[in-house]
């Protein structure tokens, strides 16, 4: 023991003098990320992550122009190392760091992950198979119903469901949306008496409040013969434009339209469409006009209250006045994508067409492996479009179908105009199915298993699709957000658990889907970010037509990998220009500068002064500003 103690003291003395070498307790990991081709090429800017099983250790680097990467001073231990690049397959391996430096490289092939479907719940005892509607609520739950008297509240995170009380009167084939106060609003439809005849259209308008749960009747629509299958579009201020639909008591369609004033909660007629129609796919464009595509394609100006014709489809004969064959999606660049096509007498054979608001012309897309109509369409946070199921008019083996209804699914990439087949749905679902993007990034689908009223219903399952981006390694995670209510033009700040380097924040409007239309906020907005450590900030758009009032999911993105989203509400500019929580004389000084020098549109710091959301800082804003000012005017 004595000799051992002396040796130990001697070693400490030598260590203090720097004369004794100590084994290395850390090492570096170097490598490259390349394609898997022959010859391979470097994948510059590929994301490489290194982490342990407990996530107490996490690092992230980007590959250099030559594909090389380095992790310095990695403590001895066992790790996972992963590599990803846009549209390339994710790779992950175990790596052991001992005393020597480690080399580990990757060759990434083209993305091949097909995603995964999982049953996450059920709608029993209800089978949603005719007039189904699904609405994403502000707390992430889904409100399902088919006639308002048998609603279901479903939590996609836990898979649990509850059954709120139904409305006093049944109402099916309606349209709906989620109001800024979090209430569901349902408009039109028909009573259940002899539903197949579609002759019992109603004018009813109802809201359902989640807290406390309650139904309320609002002012009825003005059209005296009611509207079933009415179209609906949300305008920049969150008000509603309702159009067309079938009428009592002969089921004839109408071309009339009316608008719902949120302040007075009343309806008023506005300009009529070019032709009578039902459930037209519609969306507010960045230009401020509403595009309706069924039929013919036309534009509504909310200021003048009038419709005008716009460029026609390249594939124009789609068997109107029957059901629409397509859904409509507003892309992040402001164009609009129509997905789905009927062959018709002209043998239409292209799955999609894209509308350019600048030229008012349509361009054909490329095609997937199977052309369909009446598909389930959901825009994803990575910019791709999920296109699920639908009906094929030319069935050829080995396509699995029931009366032409298929389980086939694709992802469409608008940037590359390319399609990629992904995992088939678990059930055949025709157009009465409803699909929604939920905050965890999955697509949740149910209903529609009664095929053409001849087969089924075969299932009440609620199934969820996990897209390929959920299999790409470590996701960013938002632990805090500056506010859940964000004025246009304001800054949003998010705090992350790990210092993942974000590439953007993405806002996606919450959906309300029925048949082939979306009554929610049809938007995917990509916000550039600035980041310091785990804090990232972005500035919201100021244009009210680009960012309509309403609820959105806010995703933190690393390339194509989304976080779980936070649901936020976009609200009107507040006049609090300095961000101190009060509208005071400092803000008034900012208002004066904006009022004096601003052109015809609101931009940058002046967004806070546009209190009425009309795109200008003008006398109307001055009046409202003075009424709300907490101190005396100078």
Tokens representing residue 339 in the block? 């997905």
Per the CB < 8 A criterion, the answer to whether 514 and 128 are in contact is no
Per-residue pLDDT of 531-583, as tens digits, reads: 999 999 999 998 999 999 999 999 999 999 999 999 999 998 766 665 555 66
Show Cβ contacts of residue 155 under 8 Å, excluding neighbours closer than 6 positions: 140, 141, 142, 161
Q: Give the count of beta carbons closer than 10 Å to the beta carbon of residue 404.
A: 18
How confident is residue 473, by pLDDT bands cut at 50, 70 and 90? very high
Tens digit of pLDDT for each residue in 357-369? 999 999 999 999 9
Q: Is the pLDDT of residue 20 over 80?
A: no
Q: What is the pLDDT, as a whole number, of residue 19?
A: 45
pLDDT score for 589: 72
Mean pLDDT in residue range 229-239: 95
pLDDT score at 2: 43
pLDDT of residue 15: 40
What pLDDT is stored for residue 618 in this prediction? 75
Residue 450: pLDDT band with limits 50, 70, 90? very high
Instruction: Output the pTM of the full model.
Output: 0.90
Mean pLDDT confidence for 74-81:
96
Residue 387, CA distances (Å) to 320, 374, 465, 478 in order: 22, 10, 11, 28
Buried residues in 5-25 as b, exposed as e (16+ CB within 10 A):
eeeeeeeeeeeeeeeeeeeee
Nearest CA to 200 among 178, 169, 243, 166? 169
| Segment 101-114 mean pLDDT | 97
Q: pLDDT band at residue 197, thresholds of 50, 70 and 90?
A: confident
| Across 311-320, 465-474, 543-552, 610-619, least confident range | 610-619
119-139: pLDDT as tens digits: 999 999 999 988 899 999 999
C-alpha 321 chain-centroid distance: 30
Q: How far apart are CA 530 and CA 536, in angstroms?
A: 6
Question: Residue 626 has what pLDDT?
Answer: 61
Confidence grade of residue 195 (pLDDT, cut at 50, 70, 90)? confident
pLDDT per position as a tens digit, 423-445: 999 999 999 999 999 999 999 99
Cα Dmax for the chain: 108
Higher pLDDT, 17 or 322: 322
Per-chain mean pLDDT for the chain: 90
The pLDDT of residue 389 is above 80: yes
Percent of the chain with pLDDT over 70: 88
More confident residue, 621 or 475: 475
Record the tokens describing residue 100, joined without a space: 């020597």
Q: What is the pLDDT of residue 576?
A: 62
Q: Give residue-wise pLDDT tens across range 583-628.
A: 677 667 766 777 776 443 444 456 667 666 666 677 777 766 665 5
Residue 42 has pLDDT above 50, yes or no: yes
Tokens of 312: 């026609």
> pLDDT value at position 277?
96
Q: How many other C-beta atoms lie within 10 A of the C-beta of residue 99?
A: 10
- Dihedral sign, Cα of residue 541, residue 547, residue 551, residue 552: negative
Residues with Cβ within 8 Å of residue 130, at least 6 apart in sequence = 146, 172, 195, 432, 450
440, 424 contact by CB (below 8 A): no
Pairwise CA distance, residues 259 & 257, whole Å: 7
Q: Which domains does the chain have, with CATH numbers?
A: 2-108 (2.60.40.10), 116-471 (2.130.10.80), 585-628 (no CATH)
pLDDT at res. 583: 67
The average pLDDT across 253-272 equals: 96
Residue 213: other Cβ atoms inside 10 A: 12
Distance CA 583, CA 626 (A): 10
């Amino acid at each position: 023991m004595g000799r051992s103690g002396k040796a130990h003291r001697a070693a400490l003395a030598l260590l203090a003098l720097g004369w004794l070498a100590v084994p290395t307790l850390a090492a570096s990991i170097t490598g490259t990320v390349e394609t898997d081709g022959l010859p391979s090429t470097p994948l510059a800017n590929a994301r490489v992550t290194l982490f342990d099983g407990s996530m107490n250790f996490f690092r992230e680097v980007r590959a250099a122009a030559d594909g090389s990467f380095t992790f310095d001073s990695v403590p001895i231990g066992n790790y996972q190392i992963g590599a990803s690049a846009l549209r390339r397959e994710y790779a992950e391996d175990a790596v052991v760091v001992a005393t020597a430096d480690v080399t580990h490289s990757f060759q990434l092939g083209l993305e091949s992950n097909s995603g995964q479907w999982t049953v996450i719940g059920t709608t029993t005892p209800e089978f949603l198979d005719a007039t189904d509607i699904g609405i994403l609520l502000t707390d992430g739950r889904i409100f399902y119903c088919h006639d308002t008297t048998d609603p279901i509240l479903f939590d996609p995170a836990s898979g649990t469901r509850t059954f709120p009380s139904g409305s006093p009167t049944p109402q099916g084939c309606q349209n709906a949306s989620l109001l800024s106060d979090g209430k569901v609003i349902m408009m039109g439809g028909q009573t259940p008496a002899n539903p197949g005849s579609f002759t019992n259209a109603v004018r009813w308008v109802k809201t359902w409040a989640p807290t406390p749960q309650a139904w309320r009747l609002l002012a009825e629509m003005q059209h005296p013969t009611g509207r079933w299958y009415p179209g609906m579009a949300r305008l920049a201020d969150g008000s509603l434009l309702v159009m067309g639909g079938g009428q009592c008591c002969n089921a004839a369609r109408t071309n009339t339209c009316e608008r719902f004033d949120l302040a007075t909660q009343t309806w008023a007629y506005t300009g009529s469409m070019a032709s009578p129609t039902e459930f037209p796919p519609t969306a507010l464009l960045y230009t401020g006009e509403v595009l309706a595509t069924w039929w013919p394609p036309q534009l509504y100006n909310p200021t003048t209250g009038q419709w005008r014709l716009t460029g026609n489809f390249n594939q124009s004969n789609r068997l109107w006045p029957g059901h629409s064959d397509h859904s409509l999606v507003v892309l992040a660049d402001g164009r609009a994508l129509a997905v789905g096509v009927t062959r018709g007498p002209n043998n239409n054979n292209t799955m999609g067409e894209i509308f350019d608001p600048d030229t008012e012309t349509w361009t054909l897309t490329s095609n997937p492996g199977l052309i369909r109509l009446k598909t389930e369409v959901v825009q994803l946070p990575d910019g791709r479009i999920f296109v699920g199921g639908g009906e094929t008019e030319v069935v050829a083996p080995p396509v699995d179908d029931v009366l032409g209804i298929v389980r086939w699914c694709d992802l469409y990439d608008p940037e590359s105009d390319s399609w990629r087949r992904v995992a088939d749905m678990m059930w055949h679902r025709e157009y009465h199915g409803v699909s929604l993007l939920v905050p965890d990034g999955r697509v949740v689908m149910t209903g529609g298993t009664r095929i053409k009223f001849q087969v089924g219903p075969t299932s009440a399952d609620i199934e969820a699709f996990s897209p390929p981006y959920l299999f790409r390694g470590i996701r960013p995670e938002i632990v805090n957000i500056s506010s859940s209510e964000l004025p246009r033009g304001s800054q949003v700040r998010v705090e992350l658990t790990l210092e993942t380097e974000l590439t953007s924040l993405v806002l996606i409007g919450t959906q309300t889907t029925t048949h082939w239309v979306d009554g929610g906020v049809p938007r995917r907005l990509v916000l550039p970010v600035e980041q310091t450590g785990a804090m990232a900030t972005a500035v919201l758009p100021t244009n009210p037509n680009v960012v309509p009032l309403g609820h959105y999911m806010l995703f933190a993105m690393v390339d194509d990998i989304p976080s779980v989203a936070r649901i936020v509400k976009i609200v009107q500019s507040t006049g609090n220009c300095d961000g101190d929580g009060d509208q005071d004389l400092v803000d008034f000084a900012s208002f004066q500068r904006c009022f004096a020098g601003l052109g015809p549109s609101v931009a940058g710091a002046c967004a806070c002064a546009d209190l009425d959301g009309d795109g200008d800082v003008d006398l109307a804003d001055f009046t409202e500003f003075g009424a709300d000012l907490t101190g005396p005017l100078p």
